[in-house]
Amino acid sequence: MAKLDLDSHYPLSADQVERFRRDGYIKLKQVLSPEVLAHYGAIITTEVHRLNTMHIPIEQRDTYNKAFLQVGNIWTKNATVKEFCWGQRLARLAAELLGVRGVRMYHDQALYKEPGGGVTPWHADQYYWPLSNANTVTAWIPLQAVPMEMGPLAFARGSHHFESGRELAISDESEERIGRSMREQNYPLDDTPFDLGEVSFHYGWTFHRAGRNTSTKPRAVMTIIYMDEDIRLIEPHTKSREGDRAAFASDVAVGEVMNGTMTPIIYHAA
């Protein structure tokens, strides 16, 4: 079997970098090959099934848990998943989009929206993160094509500059309040399918959501959150951020660079 490509350079144009910084997100086609997605996707899916702790029937769950099965830090539990998460192609894209010399991995997270899975309410990821600046980006990596009926990720274009609603966790309230704000502020909604191999990158403060999965198959997605290699831990003033600090930065002091065992540098420009 030929070596699977996780490390080659994906060339970004100046226009694409500018568009990402203006819009708060970008969708890039043919980032990963079908062979890469098939090989690593099967292993990620096996680990999601092994590690998943949600066994309540979907109709009995709250809005958050209807949205997806969520399994994180898989890279610490499986060497092949670690190989995927440490791939240079994605990490270099993250660094170049952010305009930083290097990036750390904050964590990985598989998000599997089951058949019949509900909406992922409007939210901004960085609500959960005790980090000192906005040089953060999530790579949203579908392990198959995502047609509209599966609930692709949708973005409010330019919303990373809008601060109202950043205090809201994923909930029915965030869906209603942030959705209303996005309409009132005329942030365009980009709600389009993902081709096989297409990957999106969005800032930690970009507001986004996803629709229901009305198909008969799970929407299998892997995410990797990257951050500026020089980003620092701030005082976690909410329970959500306290939880993140305990999970990902228990060996990092407040005010120090996020140079912990769980947050390695994945890419650094030569």
Q: What integer is the mean pLDDT of 152-175?
A: 96
CA 132 to chain centre: 18
- Please, are residues 136 and 103 in contact by the beta-carbon 8 Å criterion? no
CA 251 to chain centre: 23
All domains in the chain, ordered by first residue: 15-230 (2.60.120.620)
The CA dihedral of 234, 235, 238, 241, to the nearest 10 degrees, is 40
- Please, are residues 228 and 103 in contact by the beta-carbon 8 Å criterion? yes
pLDDT digit string (tens) for 159-168?
999 999 999 9
pLDDT digit string (tens) for 107-126?
999 999 999 999 999 999 99
pLDDT digit string (tens) for 180-212?
999 999 999 999 999 999 999 999 999 999 999
Longest dimension (CA), the chain: 53
- Please, are residues 26 and 107 in contact by the beta-carbon 8 Å criterion? no
- Please, are residues 80 and 38 in contact by the beta-carbon 8 Å criterion? no
pLDDT of residue 1: 45
pLDDT digit string (tens) for 211-243?
999 999 999 999 999 999 999 999 999 999 999
Q: Which pTM was predicted?
A: 0.95
Q: Where are the alpha helices (DSSP H) in the chain?
A: 14-23, 34-51, 63-67, 79-85, 88-98, 172-184, 239-248
pLDDT digit string (tens) for 40-78?
999 999 999 999 888 888 888 888 877 788 999 999 999
How much of the chain, in percent, has pLDDT values that exceed 90? 92
